[in-house]
Structure 1
Amino acid sequence: MDMKEKLSLLWIFVLFNYIYADITTLMDSSVLTELITGYAGGLQITQGFLLGGAILMEIPIAMVVLSRVLKYKANRLANIIAGTIKTAAVSLSMFVGTPALYYIFFGTIEIGCTLLIIWYAWKWTDAEVN
């Protein structure tokens, strides 16, 4: 498997984890009750908040494709930057309110995966480019 395929596959894996963590959160009655009031972890849910969330989720969605189509230098840089942003976002989200056990579980997997993406992209050399 070449590096482009590997990175794209890792983005797909982490994306499924993000999605299922969100789906599981919607099954948590205490979180759902809070969401109905217009708050999430003590933060007010506004159009700006939702736009920020959409932008954060668009990063891994775009990286599935960009990991396949970008040329080496841009690909490597995009994966390092996107992986860093997503690692930071999930890490920081662990400190908003008190995270549930399932959220810690998914978050740990997500952080591990994005750190692996950063690692692979960082170690990727142009000698490995097809």
Structure 2
Amino acid sequence: MATELTSKKEKDRKVILSTLWIFVTLNYLYCDVLSLMDSELLKQYLSGTVEGLELNASFLLAGAILMEIPIAMVLLSRILKYRANRWANILAGAIKTLAMIMTLFIGKAAYYYLFFGCIEIATTSFIIWYAWQWKAPKVSPSV
């Protein structure tokens, strides 16, 4: 009975972490959609240079890798075992939190970007904390 309860708690934590990654991914994506509606940014996108950064193949690959992290974490949070899951969430959360903080210092951030940025930073910070608080499942002695 105790093993079933521990297993359910672990499964619930996995579902919550996965759901948080879905939530933050949707925020990343919708912020990017709104950026395409910003005429000043759209002009820069079309020119191939945004806030002095050249949008070359390497830059786009780096962006793709950064975006794949939360997408992969939706799945990995559900299927990894405790130890790998905990550390993957802590590491991915830290990478995404730092990346988002760094983007706030590139150029002049629009109000919508600051709004989404705060939500994204709060969510990934919570993911780090929530994963950090995750205790190892208790192993009941075999009888």
Task: Provide the residue aligned with 2:6 in structure 1.
Answer: none
Give the 4+ runs in structure 1 shifted more than 3 A: none
1:33 aligns with 2:14: no
1:48 correspondence with 2:58: yes
> Which ranges in structure 1 are unaligned for 5 or more consecutive residues?
none
1:66 pairs with 2:76? yes
Using the alignment, how far apart are the partners of 1:11 and 1:4 within structure 2?
11
What is the aligned length? 129
* CA distances 1:68-109 after superposition (whole Å, capped 9, x unpaired): 000000000000000000000000000000000000000000
Residue deviations 1:27-57 (CA, integer Å, cap 9, x gap): 0000000111111221001000000000000
Pick from 123, 128, 135: which aligns with 1:113?
A: 123
Amino acid at match of 1:118: I
Structure 2 unmatched ranges of 5 or more:
1-8
Which of 26, 29, 35 is 1:19 aligned to?
Answer: 29
Deviation at 1:11, TM superposition (A): 0.1
- Letter of the 1:115 partner, please give it: S
Q: Which has the larger radius of gyration?
A: 2
Give the Cα separation in 2 of the matches to 1:97 and 1:12.
Answer: 28
Alpha-carbon distance in 1 for matches of 2:106, 2:52 = 8
**Overall identity of the aligned pairs, in %:** 57
Shift of 1:117: 0.3
For residues 23 and 115 of structure 1, what CA distance do their matches in structure 2 show? 23
Q: Which residue of 1 is the match for residue 109 of structure 2?
A: 99
Q: TM-score with structure 2 length normalisation?
A: 0.88
Selected match of 2:93 from 78, 83, 87: 83
Q: TM-score, normalised by structure 1?
A: 0.96
C-alpha RMSD of matched pairs (Å):
1.3
Task: State the SS of the aligned residue for 2:137.
Answer: helix
Distance 1:4 1:92 in 2: 28
